[in-house]
Homo-oligomer: A and B are copies of this chain.
Amino acid sequence: MTVTDRPPDETLASLGELGVLARIFPRLPSSREQLLGPGDDAAVLRAPDGRYVVTTDMMVHGPDFRLAWSTPYELGWKAAATNLADVAAMGATPTALVVAIAAPLTTTVEALEQVADGLREACEALAPGCGVVGGDLSVSETLTFAVTAFGDLGGRDPVTRSGARPGDVVAVAGELGSAALGLSLLFTRAVDGSGIPNADLAAGLRASHPELLIAQLAPVPPIPAGVDAALGGATAMLDVSDGLSLDAARIARASGVSIALDGAALGPRIEPALTGGEDHALLATFPAKSPLPTAFRPIGRVVAGAGITVDGEPFEPRGWDPYTDWNGGAG
């Protein structure tokens, strides 16, 4: 978090785009692969193995976060972490981000600096060497983050969703269910009588349930486990962002197989693990004879067929869906 002695009322409107960017740039992490950084029409990056991995994702005030619950620092952290997880899920090392932010004119410069701090510290903690090489700052009535992340495959094939084969072990690296439990706590206990998100109530939950709140608000995906999985022979992999059952079903469909999950391996929180979103764990399949990379634990088997089962029973995949589950509130 940032401590400053400047007036607290400097905003995007009062300082203008260039003034704000001058404040933000020095706080951003630099990329090991950057040849030309922010300040020109475009950045130039090295692609060490002649290819690069690209993913893009938006975070929108309302469906994706509420300002009463998330700090600006956490928004920057989460915007980086979720995109880094998509790069890792290809078996790649994250190298760089570009970050576009559209913000209301009343947004304080201090809040944007804290977003930059969150971006930087997430890169430093989760993917050292990955930095922000460019971006865009726009005006909008709806605070919106659009991050595009890049990665390097180090000469390896990308690990797609379609390579799982019957007999493979299904394994996961990272938390399952905590992010959804954190969100559920916030929705039930950090809203006022009218259902509006409330910052004071959220602060109380942070004290009583720090682990679940952090999993939701500033997740720590196991980024290096993506490369470990590729090196360990993973046949398929993805980032668990919409709930294990939905995401396992995606591997099953893309690979033309069935995934048989072992309920006991999913821990005591089996329902949120299967149907809760935003875990940003890595789900991968490995040949049965390969030793699992240390970050991974087995949770099932790939078998012939289609769809997914839990303890042998068919399970209808479901998870968080902003198209049906968002109530339109922002807060």
Contacts and interface: CB of A to CB of B under 8 A. Distances in A.
Contacts of A105: 323
B60 A54 contact: no
Range of interface residues on A (Cβ < 8 Å): 35 or more
Given A36-B160, A148-B148, A323-B105, A52 B44 contact: yes
B140 A142 contact: yes
Contacts of A148: 54, 56, 98, 100, 148
A175 to B, nearest CB: 18
A164 to B, nearest CB: 13
Q: Most chain-B CB neighbours within 10 Å: which of A99, A100, A140, A142?
A: A140
Interface string A159-203: 011000000000000000000000000000000000000000000
Contacts of A59: 138
Contact of A40 (B90, B139, B149): B90
A138 B320 CA distance: 13
A313 interface: no
A158 B44 contact: yes
Contacts of A312: none
Interface string A313-331: 0000000011110100010
Given A45-B54, A136-B56, A102 B160 contact: no
Contact of A238 (B41, B45, B150): B41
A290 interface: no
Contacts of A141: 62, 141-142, 330
A47 interface: yes
A52 B57 contact: no
A130 interface: no
A13 interface: yes
A64 interface: yes
A26 interface: no
Contacts of A285: none
B90 A60 contact: no
Contacts of A64: 138
CB-based closest 10 A-B pairs? A146-B146, A47-B47, A42-B55, A142-B142, A41-B89, A148-B148, A56-B98, A41-B86, A60-B140, A58-B138
Interface of A: 12-13, 16-17, 35-36, 39-48, 50-60, 62-64, 86-87, 89-90, 92, 96, 98-100, 102, 105, 133-136, 138-142, 144, 146, 148-151, 153, 158, 160-161, 237-239, 254, 321-324, 326, 330
